[in-house]
Structures are given as structure tokens and as C-alpha cells.
Amino acid sequence: MDADEQPIDTEAKRDEDAYALSTKVVAAILDSVEAGDREKLIALMEPLHAADIADLLEQIDGEERRELIQLYGREFDGEILSELEESVREEVIGFLSPQVLAEAVRELDSDDVVDLVEFLDEPQQEAILDALEDVDRAAVELALSYPEGSAGRLMQSEVVMAPEHWNVGQAIDYMRGSDRLPDAFYHVILVDPRLHPIGNVTLGRLMAARRDVPLKELTEEMFRVIPATQDEEDVAYAFNQYHLISAPVVNADGRLVGQITIDDAMIVLDEEHEEDILRLAGVGEGSISDRVMETVKARLPWLAVNLVAANMAALVIAQFEAVIAQLVALAVLMPIIASMGGNAGTQSLTVAVRALATRDLTNANVGRVIRREVLVGLLNGVAFAVVMGLVAFLWFGSAGLSLVIGGALIVNMIVAGLAGTGVPVLLDKLKVDPALASGAFVTTVTDIVGFFTFLGFAALYLL
Amino acid sequence: MDADEQPIDTEAKRDEDAYALSTKVVAAILDSVEAGDREKLIALMEPLHAADIADLLEQIDGEERRELIQLYGREFDGEILSELEESVREEVIGFLSPQVLAEAVRELDSDDVVDLVEFLDEPQQEAILDALEDVDRAAVELALSYPEGSAGRLMQSEVVMAPEHWNVGQAIDYMRGSDRLPDAFYHVILVDPRLHPIGNVTLGRLMAARRDVPLKELTEEMFRVIPATQDEEDVAYAFNQYHLISAPVVNADGRLVGQITIDDAMIVLDEEHEEDILRLAGVGEGSISDRVMETVKARLPWLAVNLVAANMAALVIAQFEAVIAQLVALAVLMPIIASMGGNAGTQSLTVAVRALATRDLTNANVGRVIRREVLVGLLNGVAFAVVMGLVAFLWFGSAGLSLVIGGALIVNMIVAGLAGTGVPVLLDKLKVDPALASGAFVTTVTDIVGFFTFLGFAALYLL
């Protein structure tokens, strides 16, 4: 840790391919599949992590996927299945022989099996459950009894618990004597006689303490018990906000039924983010490996909403046909007003949607935030009104047109700030996901207001 | 764990306020500040987690913030500072007396101090470093010697290591005898005589093994060593992809200098996502607690780019002024083409930008993805061409106009799929962040192509 060994770079090294599959490896694997060379395939796949093999399977096409899996045969392991995204996973399960599938799932932890089977068709689900040992099957079925997207689905049933009156020595002796410890765990959960969790002791603290110290004196300050029915989004928020590593999950009676660890919470957080980004762009559940018809279906609804909105805007323009016929320059300039309003609205709404998701926008500051957005809209509006007024004057030589476009820009950008924040806040209060619906509303508002003020000002002052 | 205790709900419970600060608590705290009632303030703040106090400080206005902090006085602790976002943090540090600040930072881990000071002005940074003990100051200064955004800045210097030839008993005795174990750790890192890390043993596995088992036999299969200069984004990707809990960090000579734990990686992942969402919407580094002028400055560049793009589209329309003057219905309908193209383009580009970020879009599948996007554009284009053709016919009674708008829609939606995928891929190859720049390019392309084909078809076939 000598300070003189420090590097002299001034920027962090960004190696694009630091962890990705290299193009070379992918090509070599596909070659071996084409040549039907099983030994070479196995040798090439051996050093790869299951997550990388899953990525590979997602990136190649359906035919190559089938051939690869059939050639790979019994080498296929359960973790690859867990790592695959849903649309590809179902297809891959169909390619596996029943024996390979059964062996693959038997290696998995209960939470991974739940994740695997929860969205499968009945027959595929049954086939997998049948392959499990009874105790594992019971754990999976308990988890499946909790609602979709709940903590109960996310938890693993394997926990290490200790009675609240134990001391460090007893806990260590118990753990060292037990032959059924989970593979990875970070806490010993203290429970009362009714199996209600009352505290967490980290393994590190256990290691550092004397044998006669009561466990109760070592519990972490930050302790949160998660109800099994709680939404996984709230679980991820709690882990992120309070820096939890693992937390006990309880049933309706408050009894310990499992635990959730930070790596599961990280996956949920990742998925929630992904969902928010895609919803903001009107791409329901899109993924790069969906097939054409799935993609068309996923994107069509949003485009249909947009078509209706665009036609409403067109109706506004139609009211001013006579004005446009007299001054065609209006038709040239009017998309600029709509475009600037739409972009400013998208900026405001994105900040608002994110702040709602991270709970940074609350009743305590909503008034202040809206005032700020309106003020930002006004200032940006004035700045661009000056620029665009000048452009319009130079282009069409009309001071009147300059004033009209400037005025419309200011109005529309204030409205963009107002709608961009107000619409998501309102949708959130109505329990509609603001990421999903705000975009269509806000751009409809800015389009309609933009065309109406621009053409309306023109009708009033230019003719 | 009885299965009959399962809940009967069919949907996970989503409690909006499960973890957020309640409006009541916020109001009570502000009341106590206004009344200058220090004891009441301390009593109300006592049960709150530092992260929640930070959220509270972000949500109230500047004046309330100052009064609260001055009243709270010496109760203020370092963790609140770590949890604050940058813009508010700098202001809060200014409110704290030197003694309170010094005491606050002395409680923090080295990685939190680094996070705190790395973006502060020189004098504020010095004040904090001076408050640290020598050994902590050295750790912070080592971290600061690594580039911004690197693993070296993210790591904590506290690790637990063991020589590779030790067995379980030796490791346990060492840990139980040591009085300087970190507060939270999950692995014992095996090192060779030159302090190069060669494997990780989880504490759980250590607990489960017999005392005479060599540590070497217990190392985790998944082991990754992180160079201190590696980009934190790559670090977060590795933790997420390979489900790491902690990983050793090494200097240029391969010597162990610290470790990164999953909670740090989770924070980076969260920030990267946030950045991507905001960049896609053209909101540089926006946050809900930025002040008006900061927000105006952050949003102006993107709006300026959009103004240029909108004027280019207007120039295209201007070429067809004579056509529009003859048929004003064109001015009514033309924004529909641009709007549909823009939305379809945003859909494609968002999926592509995300897939690039998660490394799911690579050389192996880029050709297939582009073909798919073009096909999706064609199919959606045909669907909406039929609908919009019908609407236009009913509205304006012209079969020619129907065909023109339908044809332009199909062309523009194919172009949207092509540009929506091609532009981000190209920017990525040019090492420009596709999240930042794709939006402006793609909507410019769809606007220009949309107006040009629609008005061009009209000029050719309708006049």
C-alpha cells in the first residue's frame, strides 16, 4: 500500500471489452458448433461464466442456439438458465431433454428456481417442480404462494438463525457443528421463541467478539424486517437507501420464512431502472432479443396513443387553415414551437419521474419544484425567443412574425415546465406509473398549446 | 414456514410510504426548527436513518436547511454528509462549524471520506483532511491519487487477508485475536508472499469447514481482481454480471491495496442508470434540488441543439412553400408524420442504448438487430399507414392525400428503425456516449425525412 506505487493516469481506464465476451471467442464457438466438434465446444465454453454463456445464447440467432445446445448436451447447467432473459429462456428450456433439464434445476438455490418457473407455462413448470427434491419443492411452492413481484418470491428459504439468548461461543459452535449451512450468508438472525426475528449479527462482528459476549449486544443498528407480501420495488429501495446486506423476511404472523440478500436487491433495482427507461420511451418490456412480432406488439400501443395525440394537434392546426393559406411562413415555423416545447417538457418530466421513483419529490417540496420548473421554462423561453425571433426576422423579414414566434415559444416553454412536473405528480397521486403515461400527456399538451398560441397569435396580430 | 400461513392477496403490496419520510414527521421537524426547540428537534430526528435525514435536508428550502443545521448543532453526524447529494452537500458543509465538521468526518470509513472530499474546493478539502488521523488521511490520499471514477476511488483500504498456506484454524484464531477487524467484511482474501491476491474465502464457508482444512481448498470459484485504475462502470458491471459480494483491488504491480464491496457497486450502478436516463432526456446532470440558474444552464445546451435541428427541418418545409400554399391540408397533416417518426425512432434508440450499456448489443448481433428494427418499422408503418390513410380520406376526402400520407409514414418509420439503431451503434464505435447524443441525431433524421417524403410525395403526385 505504498503511496509511491500510485499510477500516473489522470483518467480511469475504460476498457470496453473488460468483461464482455470477445468477438473472437464467439466466432470460435460458432465455428465449433457448425463443425459439430463437441470437444472443442466444451473446451471453449469451460472458462466462461454462466452469465457470459447466457449472453452468448441471447446474441446468436435461434437456429445457432438450438444447434449449440444440442451439441453441448449434458454439460448445460442450471445457472445458465437462471441468467437467461425470459423470452430466450423459454425457447432454451424447450430444446433441453427432460434429463438435462432435471439435472440442471436440481443444482439451483430455491430463489433461482422460483425465478425460473414463475413465468413458465403449466406443463414446463410441472416438469421442473417434479425434478426437485421434496424439501426444495416445498420451498419453491411456498415462495410461489406469495404474489408476483413480492418479497416472498425474491427470498431464499435458507437462513442461519439463533435463539436471542445465545452468546458468541454458542453461535460459533452451532455453525461449526452444522452440516447444512447455506453456501453464502452474511448474518446470523436472532429470533425469539415464536421465531420472530429481532436482530442481525454480522459474521465479521461474531469473529471479532469474545466467546462469552451475548449475541444481543452485537446486533447491527440498522435492522429491517421485510413482510413477504411487500413489493420488491420497496425492498430494493430499502436495501439501497439503508445499505442493507441481508434482511429477514416474515409471514403475516411475523414469523421468519426466509431472507433477501443484497445481490437479489441489486437485480431488482437494475430491472426497475430498465423498466423506467423503457417505459419513458414507450417501449413496454422491450429487449434486444425479442422477435419481430413481439417487438411490433410491444411498441404499437404507444405509437397508437401518439397517433391520436398527433391528430388532436392536427385538429388544432386545421382551425387555422385560412391563416396558414395567407401566410405559408407559419407552416414553415410552427414545427419549431412544438419541437422546443416537447423537448423542454421531456426534460422536466424525466427529472420529475426519477425524483418520484427515488422519493426525492414529495409533498414537502412539490410546490417549490413546480415554481422552479416554471421559472426555468420562462428563462429558457426568453433566451430562445430572442434567438428564434432574430432568425425569423432575418429569414422572413417580418418583425411581427418575430414577435409572434418569440411569444409562442415563451408560453409553450412555461407550459412545458408546468405540465412536465404536474402531469407525473398527478399520475403518481392517481397510482398510475408516471414513467408509463407522462410522456404522451406532456407532449400532447405542448403540441396543442404550441400550435394554438403560435397560430392564434398570428391570426390576432399578423392578419 | 407452514404453507398454510400463506397470504391470500394476489398482488404484492405497494405501500408508497413504506420507507419515505412521512409528511407528518417533516412538518413536525420544521415546526420545531421554527420554534427554535432544540430538544424537540433532536427527539424527532433521533429515530431517523442518516439517509432519511439527508433526504429531508434535500427537500426543504435553503433557509430552513440553514436554521435546522444550526439548531441541530453538534448532533450532526458524518453519515448524513455522505448521504447528501453534491449540490446540497457543499452548502451544508458551509453551515457547519469547523469542530462539528471535524468530528463528523472522523467517524467515516475511508471510502466515504473520499466520496465526500473528491469534488470539494481546495480549502474545504483541506479542512476535512486535516481533521483526520494520520493513518486515515494516508488512506484517503492514496485513493485520491487514483483517477476520478476509478476503482481506486471506490475502494476501502480496510481488508482482512491471510497467507495462502494457512488453514481454517489459523485464519479463525487470527481473526478472533485481532483487534482491528473492519466493521463489515465478507471474505478473507488469500495473498501470496508478494501480497498478490490469489483467492477469496467467504466467512460462511470458513465457519462450515474443519479447522485443518487448507484455506486454498475453500476459495470461491468466482474470483475477480480489480485494477485500481479500472473504470467504476466496469466494476459495477462485473459485480452485477457475476454476482460478486466483494473483490480485491490491486495496484499497477498487482499488490492488494483495498477492496470493493457490493454496496458500493450498487451505488455506482444506480448512478450510471440515473445518468443514462437523464442523458437520454437531454438533462445533463439534473437533480430536483438544483437551483434555477443551475437547471437553466444544464438544460440549455440540449435545447439549443434541438433548435438548430428544428430549423433544419423548417428549411426542408420551406422548400415546399408553394406546394403548401396550394394545399393547406398538407400543413395540417405534416406534424403527424414527424411525430410518429420521432416516437418510433426514440423507441428503437432507447432499446439500442440500453443494450449497448448492458453489453447485449455486440458485433455478434448488430446486423440481426438492425434488420429486425427495419422490419418492425415496416410492419408498424404499414399498420399506421392504413389507419392514417383512412383518417385522412374521411377528413379531406382525397384518396391521393391518403396514399401520400400512408407512403410517407411507412418510409419514415423504416428510417426511424434504421437511424434509431444505427446512430447509437455508430456513436458507441466513435467512443461518444450514445445516451447523450443519439436523441438529437435521430429526431433530426426523422423530422427531415418525414417532412421531405410527405411534402415531396405531395408535390409529385397531388399537384
d(CA A103, CA A127): 12
d(CA B447, CA B444): 5
Kindly state the average pLDDT of the residues A284-303: 83
Mean pLDDT of chain A: 89
ipTM: 0.85
Q: How many residues does chain A have?
A: 463
The answer to whether the CB atoms of B20 and A355 lie below 8 A apart is no
Q: What integer pLDDT is reported at residue B20 of this predicted model?
A: 56
d(CA B397, CA B390): 10
Q: What integer pLDDT is reported at residue A12 of this predicted model?
A: 53
The answer to whether the CB atoms of B238 and A292 lie below 8 A apart is no
User: pLDDT for B419-438, tens place per residue?
Assistant: 999 999 999 999 998 988 88
Which residues fall within 8 angstroms of residue B229, CB to CB, at 6 or more apart?
A7, A9, A12, A13, B146, B147, B150, B151, B152, B252
**Residue A296: closest CA among B394, B378, B361:** B378
d(CA B277, CA B282): 9
A126 pLDDT band, cuts 50/70/90, is confident
The answer to whether the CB atoms of B185 and A208 lie below 8 A apart is no
A166 pLDDT band, cuts 50/70/90, is very high
Q: What integer pLDDT is reported at residue A208 of this predicted model?
A: 83
Query: How far does chain B reach from its first CA to its final CA, in angstroms?
Result: 77
Q: Per mean pLDDT, which range of A94-108, A387-401, B339-353 is the poorest? A: A94-108
For A201, the 3-state DSSP assignment is strand
Kindly state the average pLDDT of the residues B261-274: 89
User: pLDDT for A131-162, tens place per residue?
Assistant: 888 888 998 999 999 999 999 999 988 899 99
d(CA B198, CA B161): 11
The fraction of chain B above a pLDDT of 70, given in percent, is 95
A74 pLDDT band, cuts 50/70/90, is confident
Q: Which residue has the higher pLDDT, A68 or A287?
A: A68
Residue among B58, B238, B333 minimizing CB distance to A360: B58
Q: Enumerate the residues of chain A whose CB falls inside 8 A of the CB of residue B10.
A: 147
d(CA B261, CA B198): 17
Q: What integer pLDDT is reported at residue B37 of this predicted model?
A: 94
B402 pLDDT band, cuts 50/70/90, is very high
Fold of B161-280: CBS-domain (3.10.580)
Domain boundaries, chain A: 22-145, 161-280, 292-461
Q: What integer pLDDT is reported at residue A7 of this predicted model?
A: 40
d(CA B76, CA B83): 13
Q: Enumerate the residues of chain B whose CB falls inside 8 A of the CB of residue A205.
A: 183
Whether residue B232 contacts residue A12, with contact meaning beta carbons closer than 8 Å, is answered with yes
Q: Per mean pLDDT, which range of A19-28, A371-380, B95-104 is the poorest? A: A19-28
The C-alpha cell at A142 is 411456498
For A8, the 3-state DSSP assignment is coil
Whether residue A250 contacts residue A225, with contact meaning beta carbons closer than 8 Å, is answered with yes
Q: Tell how strand B246-250 and strand B226-227 pair up.
A: parallel
A206, A243, A280, best to mutate vs chain B, most B CBs in 10 Å:
A243
Sheet holding B187-191, edge to edge: B161-163, B187-191, B197-202
Kindly state the average pLDDT of the residues B209-228: 92
Q: What integer pLDDT is reported at residue B416 of this predicted model?
A: 97
The C-alpha cell at B295 is 437547471
d(CA A275, CA A281): 10
Q: Which residue has the cell 433532536?
A: B42
Q: What integer pLDDT is reported at residue B12 of this predicted model?
A: 53
Q: Which residue of B has its CA nearest to A311?
A: B336
Sheet holding A197-202, edge to edge: A161-163, A187-191, A197-202
Kindly state the average pLDDT of the residues B360-366: 87
Report, at the CATH architecture level, how domain A292-461 is classified.
Answer: Orthogonal Bundle (1.10)
Q: What integer pLDDT is reported at residue B9 of this predicted model?
A: 43
Counted across chains A and B, CB pairs separated by less than 8 A come out at 469
Q: What integer pLDDT is reported at residue A8 of this predicted model?
A: 38
User: pLDDT for B148-184, tens place per residue?
Assistant: 999 999 998 889 999 999 999 999 889 888 877 887 7
Instruction: Tell me which amino acid residue B194 is.
Output: R
Q: Enumerate the residues of chain B whose CB falls inside 8 A of the CB of residue A232.
A: 12
Q: What integer pLDDT is reported at residue A3 of this predicted model?
A: 40
Give me the CATH code for the A22-145 domain, please. Answer: 1.25.60.10
Whether residue A153 contacts residue A126, with contact meaning beta carbons closer than 8 Å, is answered with no
Rank A207-211, A437-441, B450-454 by mean pLDDT and report only the highest: B450-454
A285, A328, A371, A391, best to mutate vs chain B, most B CBs in 10 Å:
A328
Q: Which residue has the cell 435463539?
A: A163
Q: What integer pLDDT is reported at residue B4 of this predicted model?
A: 41
Whether residue A359 contacts residue A351, with contact meaning beta carbons closer than 8 Å, is answered with no
Radius of gyration of chain B (CA): 30
A19 pLDDT band, cuts 50/70/90, is low
A311, A337, A340, best to mutate vs chain B, most B CBs in 10 Å:
A311
Residue among A234, A325, A343 minimizing CB distance to B328: A325
Q: Enumerate the residues of chain A whose CB falls inside 8 A of the CB of residue B240.
A: 266-267, 270
Q: What integer pLDDT is reported at residue B287 of this predicted model?
A: 73
Q: Residue B279 to residues A149, B85, B438: CA-CA distances in angstroms?
A: 29, 18, 10
Q: What does residue A201 show for φ and ψ, rounded to 5 degrees?
A: -120, 125
d(CA B97, CA B107): 16
User: pLDDT for B40-97, tens place per residue?
Assistant: 999 999 989 999 999 999 988 889 999 999 999 888 888 999 899 888 888 898 888 8
Whether residue B147 contacts residue A12, with contact meaning beta carbons closer than 8 Å, is answered with yes
Q: What does residue A11 show for φ and ψ, rounded to 5 degrees?
A: -125, 145
d(CA A50, CA A343): 42
Kindly state the average pLDDT of the residues A446-460: 97
B101 pLDDT band, cuts 50/70/90, is confident
Which residues fall within 8 angstroms of residue B450, CB to CB, at 6 or more apart?
B334, B337, B338, B340, B341, B342, B408, B412
Whether residue B240 contacts residue B233, with contact meaning beta carbons closer than 8 Å, is answered with no
Which residues fall within 8 angstroms of residue A97, CB to CB, at 6 or more apart?
none
User: pLDDT for A336-370, tens place per residue?
Assistant: 999 999 999 999 999 999 899 888 898 888 999 99
Report, at the CATH architecture level, how domain B16-145 is classified.
Answer: Alpha Horseshoe (1.25)
Q: What integer pLDDT is reported at residue B112 of this predicted model?
A: 87
d(CA B384, CA B399): 16
Residue among A49, A288, A443 minimizing CB distance to B351: A288
Whether residue B280 contacts residue B354, with contact meaning beta carbons closer than 8 Å, is answered with no
The answer to whether the CB atoms of A296 and B331 lie below 8 A apart is no
Q: What integer pLDDT is reported at residue A146 of this predicted model?
A: 95
Sheet holding A256-261, edge to edge: A226-227, A246-250, A256-261
For B106, the 3-state DSSP assignment is helix
pLDDT beyond 90 at B122:
no
Q: Per mean pLDDT, which range of A239-253, A321-335, B12-26 is the poorest? A: B12-26
User: pLDDT for A179-197, tens place per residue?
Assistant: 778 877 889 999 999 999 9
B9, B77, B295, best to mutate vs chain A, most A CBs in 10 Å:
B295
d(CA A458, CA A445): 20
Q: What integer pLDDT is reported at residue A358 of this predicted model?
A: 84
Mean pLDDT of chain B: 89
The answer to whether the CB atoms of A282 and B343 lie below 8 A apart is yes
Whether residue B62 contacts residue B292, with contact meaning beta carbons closer than 8 Å, is answered with no
Strand segments, DSSP code E, in B203-272 are 226-227, 246-250, 256-261
The answer to whether the CB atoms of A55 and B277 lie below 8 A apart is no
Residue B231, beta-bridge partner list: B150
